């Protein structure tokens, strides 16, 4: 194909790239798809510059780039298209079908509902209009004022020490969790904690028990780690495995939402909590207590039971909590509490797999907790949430009625 035709878009006024880059791209494209065949002699840089109204340096740059990449070769003082193109030529001519390039595990992940849209009654999303923007912004600003440049390289492994300390205090006061700050690991959302449990506490092919119905994101996390997911029925007292299941499918992980089963709202009874702890004896099983829903309770719901973790602090229990409900889901800040005897080994594995960050946000959050602003915010939200009907089975019924009568505009979240 004549070079004039190939380079007709060289002076396209709409093109964003510098001329030398454009020339290089046009020539490379023509060589790659065979319009300029192997052995074709390219004009001298002087000639091509004159023919196309270019500076000679522009052409030299393009030729040198093509030469460096192996698209052309120097030949008897001239430049010819290489007989075999560089490695790029070996690449498949068309983009491969993407699905085939994902792992079988990724292809099988069930779809989750989109989190981005803030529709009325979206489960798991607090009333963001009530978020205390000004005080949070102040905490962030103060944190920025304290932080030094070198601290921006990476977060402290396990999370900012002051936040680990505040979370340990917060949990012992509110949830009966028995832990020291070293047992608290700050993570990027409860989702990351579940991911760490799936990948670091179990091997692919191991069995994970999940509540059915349950939290889709937990299920996907386990599936993506190659675990064999078993859905365990839920009743009014929470996860209810029968005797046969313990025999047939002994679990490596048991993942449950203890204080507010998602989505039924059932509270795992004390009897069941003790039974799970008893069953852990003599087994290589971890219990993952996802306590995402303990923070807000309204007057009519039963009071929150203390965390399972606090009943037997030495048991193989990982306690997970999140700030997604207390503050806002996009913050991606949560924590996992690991048994004291697992801190060293599990801490090392977590550090070897993930990098820590959120240097400023973690400091800001520690301030928010220590100054009592979080408690204040929680008190305020507890009142609003009653009306939103997001928490508790009776509130859910009420919500349905309201939706059917089309009155949802009067609900706070609408």
Which residues have a Cβ under 8 Å from the Cβ of 266 and sit 6 or more positions away?
234, 235, 236, 237, 238, 260, 393
Minimum CB separation of residue 40 from ligand PLP in Å reads 57
Quote the CA–CA distance of 259 and 373 in Å, as a whole number.
24
Binding mask 283-302 for ligand PLP (x = CB under 6 A): -------x-x----------
Q: What b-and-e string marks burial along 175-190, b requiring 16 or more CB atoms within 10 Å of the CB? A: bebbbebbbbbbbbbb
DSSP state of 317: E
Contacts with ligand PLP by CB under 6 A: the residue count is 13
Minimum CB separation of residue 407 from ligand PLP in Å reads 25
Only one of the segments 139-147, 172-180, 186-194, 229-237 lies at the binding site for ligand PLP (rule: CB under 6 A); that segment is: 186-194
DSSP state of 302: P
Per CB under 6 A, the list member of 65, 166, 191, 358 interacting with ligand PLP is: 191
Three-state secondary structure call for residue 1: coil
Q: Which is nearer to ligand PLP, 58 or 166 (CB)?
A: 166
Minimum CB separation of residue 208 from ligand PLP in Å reads 14
Per CB under 6 A, the list member of 126, 329, 339, 392 interacting with ligand PLP is: 329
Q: What does each C-alpha distance from 337 to 5, 48, 68, 175, 317 come to in angstroms?
A: 67, 68, 54, 12, 8
- Asked if 307 touches ligand PLP (CB under 6 A), the answer is no
Could you give the angle at the alpha carbon of 75 between the alpha carbons of 70 and 79, nearest 5°?
A: 65
Per CB under 6 A, the list member of 63, 136, 170, 262 interacting with ligand PLP is: 262
Minimum CB separation of residue 263 from ligand PLP in Å reads 8
Which residues have a Cβ under 8 Å from the Cβ of 352 and sit 6 or more positions away?
none
Given a contact cutoff of 8 angstroms between Cβ atoms, the answer to whether 49 and 60 are in contact is no
Within 62-81, the residues that bind ligand PLP by CB under 6 A are none
Q: Which is nearer to ligand PLP, 190 or 208 (CB)?
A: 190
Per CB under 6 A, the list member of 309, 322, 356, 362 interacting with ligand PLP is: 322
- Asked if 215 touches ligand PLP (CB under 6 A), the answer is yes
Helix runs in 55-189, H state only: 56-69, 98-101, 104-107, 133-146, 161-175
Q: Which is nearer to ligand PLP, 79 or 322 (CB)?
A: 322
- Asked if 189 touches ligand PLP (CB under 6 A), the answer is yes
Only one of the segments 187-195, 265-273, 359-367, 386-394 lies at the binding site for ligand PLP (rule: CB under 6 A); that segment is: 187-195
Minimum CB separation of residue 287 from ligand PLP in Å reads 15
Minimum CB separation of residue 409 from ligand PLP in Å reads 24
**How many CB atoms sit inside 10 A of residue 85's CB?**
19
**Residue 175 CA neighbour count, 13 Å, CB half:** 29
Minimum CB separation of residue 177 from ligand PLP in Å reads 16
Minimum CB separation of residue 322 from ligand PLP in Å reads 3
- Asked if 124 touches ligand PLP (CB under 6 A), the answer is yes
Quote the CA–CA distance of 400 and 408 in Å, as a whole number.
10
Biggest CA-to-CA distance, the chain: 90
Only one of the segments 102-110, 188-196, 310-318, 348-356 lies at the binding site for ligand PLP (rule: CB under 6 A); that segment is: 188-196
- Asked if 167 touches ligand PLP (CB under 6 A), the answer is no
Quote the CA–CA distance of 376 and 26 in Å, as a whole number.
63
Q: Which is nearer to ligand PLP, 262 or 296 (CB)?
A: 262
Which residues have a Cβ under 8 Å from the Cβ of 30 and sit 6 or more positions away?
1, 6, 36
Minimum CB separation of residue 157 from ligand PLP in Å reads 20
Quote the CA–CA distance of 63 and 72 in Å, as a whole number.
8
Given a contact cutoff of 8 angstroms between Cβ atoms, the answer to whether 186 and 158 are in contact is yes
Minimum CB separation of residue 242 from ligand PLP in Å reads 23
Per CB under 6 A, the list member of 45, 58, 257, 362 interacting with ligand PLP is: 257
Per CB under 6 A, the list member of 327, 334, 365, 381 interacting with ligand PLP is: 334
Task: Please give the residue ranges that form the binding site for ligand PLP (CB under 6 A).
Answer: 124, 189-191, 215, 257, 262, 290, 292, 322, 324, 329, 334
């Amino acid at each position: 194909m004549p070079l004039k035709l190939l380079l007709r878009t060289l002076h396209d006024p709409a093109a964003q790239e510098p001329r030398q880059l454009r020339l290089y791209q046009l020539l490379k494209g023509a060589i790659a798809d065979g319009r300029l065949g192997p052995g074709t002699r390219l004009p001298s840089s002087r000639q091509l510059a004159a023919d196309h109204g270019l500076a000679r340096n522009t052409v030299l740059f393009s030729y040198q780039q093509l030469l460096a990449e192996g698209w052309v070769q120097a030949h008897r003082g001239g430049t010819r298209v290489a007989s075999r193109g560089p490695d790029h030529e070996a690449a498949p001519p068309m983009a491969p079908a993407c699905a085939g390039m994902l792992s079988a595990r990724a292809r099988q992940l069930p779809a989750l509902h989109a989190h981005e849209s803030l529709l009325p009654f979206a489960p798991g999303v607090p009333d963001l209009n009530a978020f205390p923007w000004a005080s949070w912004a102040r905490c962030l600003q103060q944190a920025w004022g304290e932080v030094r440049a070198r601290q921006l390289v990476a977060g402290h492994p396990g999370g900012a020490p002051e936040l680990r300390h505040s979370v340990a205090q917060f949990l012992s006061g509110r949830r009966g969790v028995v832990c020291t700050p070293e047992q608290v690991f700050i993570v990027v959302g409860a989702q990351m904690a579940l991911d760490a449990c799936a990948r670091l506490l179990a091997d692919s092919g191991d069995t994970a028990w999940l509540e059915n119905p349950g939290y889709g994101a937990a299920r996907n996390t386990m599936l993506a780690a190659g675990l064999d997911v078993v859905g365990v029925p839920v009743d009014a007292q929470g996860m209810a495995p029968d005797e046969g299941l313990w025999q047939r499918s002994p679990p490596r992980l048991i993942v449950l939402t203890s204080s507010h089963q998602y989505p039924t709202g059932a509270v795992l009874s004390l009897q069941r909590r003790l039974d799970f702890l008893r069953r852990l004896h003599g087994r290589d099983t971890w219990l993952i207590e996802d306590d995402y829903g303990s923070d807000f309770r309204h007057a009519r719901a039963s009071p929150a039971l203390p965390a399972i973790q606090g009943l037997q602090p030495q048991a193989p229990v990982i306690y997970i909590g999140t700030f997604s409900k207390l503050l806002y889901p996009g913050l991606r800040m949560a924590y996992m509490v690991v048994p004291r005897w697992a801190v060293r080994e599990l801490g090392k594995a977590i550090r070897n797999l993930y990098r820590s960050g959120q240097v400023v946000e973690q400091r800001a959050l520690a301030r928010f907790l220590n100054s009592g602003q979080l408690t204040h915010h929680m008190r305020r939200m507890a009142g609003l949430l009653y009306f939103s009907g997001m928490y508790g089975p009776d509130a859910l019924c009420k919500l349905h009625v309201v939706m059917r009568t089309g009155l949802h505009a009067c609900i706070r979240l609408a």
